[in-house]
Structure 1
Amino acid sequence: MAELPPRKRVEDVELLRALSHPLRSALLHHLTSVGPRTASECAEAVGSTASNCSWHLRQLAQYGLVERADAEDGRERPWRARQVGLDLGDIDDDPVRRAAQLGVVGASLANEQELTQRYLDSLDDLDPAWRSVAGLSSYSLRVTPEELTRLSHAIDALVRPFVSAIRTDAPPGARPVHVGVRAFPRIEHSGKAEE
């Protein structure tokens, strides 16, 4: 297998703040998932207006996260993601950077929740072949930090070759699919880490 392109490491607090905007997060995830799309197509997919999407896409372009793609029909030029994933780094001790990082995580989680709800709302209209292979799983593990690191890297190595923006060998019938993985210590309602 060819070496996969790296994720973009995000260090800049202003870029983190820009990514914490829910619509920008949704647009970037959408373009990464489905490939080049016009602002109008993005608007339909994320539930906004074409003009609003166009403005936010231009903002993402200023940070080098999206760019214009060649138009097939010579009319409105589509946008495409320039990155195949983002790396926010470890949650920072600096309160300004931490707040910006958590804003990005919050926007991403909200987008993931919305995608999950849309999937559940569309079950009756979904092709039975796709409905039967979709999965919503959760696990309660008991691991050390080192084991969790290994597990996270193993999951990434398994999933990453299928990322839409990377994959060049997708067979006919392949569709964009959302996969979300979260791994963190369980915290009791009281705020105490479970032992």
Structure 2
Amino acid sequence: MSFTSRPERRATVSDPRALRALAHPLRLALLDYLLAFGPRTASECAEVVGSTASNCSYHLRALAKFGLVERVDAEDGRERPWQTTATGLQFGRTDDPGFRLGSDTTERFLADRQVDEEADRVHRAIAQRDDLPPAWRDASILSAYALRIAPDELRELGERLDALIRPYIALTREDAPADADVVALHLNAFRHPDAP
């Protein structure tokens, strides 16, 4: 798989209509796949997300209406691939009361879906661990920490971690070694739900 690096462009999705469009599980899976692996055709997406090429094409066009994906020129002149318009996305807060996190809302659904997808990837990675080359098996990390930290320290920690991670983002990395591959990294930091 070859990557053509792109300039970094992170985007925040806070438009309630775009958030509603992303609430469809297949659209979220397509966007996640393109963010991880770069330009892909609807047929290539279908193989990974477990759908048909025509269904993926329909949902990719729906994402394009909100400026989240776009068509790019095909290398072979056949089916044109899709790519994300940004190299990183986050879901922003919106003033629309129907989208507030923590209640039964679209924003909550998107956050829950993202956590579920991350957990699924972790389970699949653990199941495949014995089949990995030793270098990848030894480099994999599965860690959890309980920190005692103030909100401003947590914000600073997040910014420092982001600065360390950003040079390795798949869509923007220009200097990747020949043996580099796509790695899923998930960081979650929040006040422990069981804290008094």
Q: How does 1:156-195 map to 2 (within 5 A)?
A: 156-188=162-194, 194-195=195-196
Cα distance between partner residues in 2 of 1:136 and 1:129:
15
Gaps of 5+ in 2: 1-6
Match of 1:55 in 2: 58
Is 1:77 the counterpart of 2:80? The answer is yes
The two structures, once aligned, show a CA RMSD in angstroms of 1.7
Asked if 1 retains the 8 angstrom alpha-carbon contact of 2:129 and 2:137, the reply is: yes
Is 1:33 the counterpart of 2:36? The answer is yes
Cα distance between partner residues in 2 of 1:148 and 1:67:
35
Match of 2:67 in 1: 64
More off after superposition, 173-182 vs 80-89: 80-89
Identity among equivalent positions (%) equals 49
More off after superposition, 128-137 vs 138-147: 128-137
TM-score, normalised relative to structure 1: 0.88
Shift of 1:94: 4.6
Shift of 1:49: 1.9
Is 1:108 the counterpart of 2:114? The answer is yes
Partner amino acid for 1:129?
A
Alignment counterpart, residue 120 of structure 1, candidates 100, 117, 126: 126
Asked if 1 retains the 8 angstrom alpha-carbon contact of 2:130 and 2:137, the reply is: no
Asked if 2 retains the 8 angstrom alpha-carbon contact of 1:21 and 1:107, the reply is: no
Shift of 1:6: 4.2
TM-score, normalised relative to structure 2: 0.88
Aligned residues: 186
Cα distance between partner residues in 2 of 1:111 and 1:120:
14
Shift of 1:174: 0.9
Asked if 1 retains the 8 angstrom alpha-carbon contact of 2:16 and 2:96, the reply is: no
TM-superposition CA deviations, 1:14-71 (whole Å, max 9, x none): 1111122222111111111111111111111222222221111111111111111111
Matched residue SS, 1:122: helix
